[in-house]
Amino acid sequence: MHGILNVLKPPGMTSTSVVNHIKKILNCKKAGHTGTLDPQAAGVLPICIGKGTKVANYILAQKKTYICEATLGKETDTGDIEGTIISRYDNFSFNKKDIEQTISEFKGNIIQIPPTYSAIRHKGKRLYEWAREGRPVEPKARRVTIYDIELMEFYHPDKFLMKIQCSKGTYIRSLCRDIGRSLGCGAYMSFLLRTQTGSFHINDSFTLDEIRTYHEKNNINDILSPIDSALTHLDYVIVDDTQFHKLINGNSIHIDYIQNVPTSILAKNTDTDNYIRVYCRRQLIGIGVLQGNEKSSYLRIKRLLI
């Protein structure tokens, strides 16, 4: 069994526990998620099964979309509603225009400090493990991108709902905290729903119970997406069948053996923007890169998927 399940993660479960449930339901040994979703949060959590795990990092690198509620007037040690209040602010008053103006300032490339309670590793342990031991570690600042941020509703006096599209590595808890600080009254994340990861949308997701039912009826393939469904953002090439063994054995092949070459991505380097899907013998065999120029280019596999 190989592919990707678009799982609807319920609140109260860790991303790892969802993976373990999927393994138990499907009786499979190899499965992995595509980006941690906070335990109290719900929403899209694509789970890669079998050889599908080989593309997990490519899904992780894609844009994420969230609907989030922030509560003003307090900060917590975890940055969310589950944490202990560490600061409290009184006598603040805002209108919808004030909130819209402030959140708009966070659109684009920003520097963000992740929460001390996060899954980032430090000296072999997660940061939340250090924090729970009473030895919190201050995470390093990182650059993330907020592609879009929109105020959906303002519930006077202290709550607002927003929709966010962002890059990998973005912590919505930190975004709420920083918006609150910019307003001068603090804030924490009181609700989070992930509605999309790459091409996987919440409208097409399945609960754990639904997945169990499909499996029990031997219909799991009806909801198991093929591996290349996670890579539709990449251009593709079709390689002559005679080059199959050369490619899967790590050799480069000349452009003459490639159909429908996307000239716009003839690579000057091996950045991820130049990654392409490689099909041969009517199947996806890997993720490759074109190197050279229009007159003399070669294709080689960066990630073999068979």
For 164-217, write each residue's pLDDT tens digit.
Answer: 999 999 999 999 999 999 999 999 999 999 999 999 999 999 999 999 999 999
Structural domain spans, the chain: 3-62+199-229, 64-192, 234-304
For 249-279, write each residue's pLDDT tens digit.
Answer: 999 998 888 887 766 655 454 444 578 999 9
Asked if residues 5 and 224 have their Cβ atoms less than 8 Å apart, the reply is yes
- Residue 216's closest CA among 88, 67, 17, 25? 25
Does residue 5 have a pLDDT over 70? yes
CATH, domain 64-192, list 3.30.2350.10, 3.60.15.10, 3.40.800.10, 3.90.1580.10: 3.30.2350.10
- Could you please state the CATH topology (level 3) that the domain comprising 3-62+199-229 is classified under: Pseudouridine synthase (3.30.2350)
What does the pLDDT read at residue 117? 75
Does residue 222 have a pLDDT over 80? yes
What does the pLDDT read at residue 264? 62
What does the pLDDT read at residue 270? 42
Q: Quick one: what percent of the chain has pLDDT higher than 70?
A: 95
What does the pLDDT read at residue 36? 86
So which residues are the catalytic ones?
38
What does the pLDDT read at residue 181? 96
Which of 26-35, 128-137, 279-288 has the lowest average pLDDT? 128-137
pTM of the model: 0.88
> CATH number of the domain at 234-304, please?
2.30.130.10
| 64-192 shares its CATH topology with 234-304 | no
- In sequence order, which residues have a C-beta less than 8 Å from that of residue 85 and are 6 or more positions away? 74, 75, 76
For 71-122, write each residue's pLDDT tens digit.
Answer: 999 999 999 999 999 999 988 999 999 999 999 999 999 999 988 777 777 7
Q: What is the mean pLDDT of the chain?
A: 90
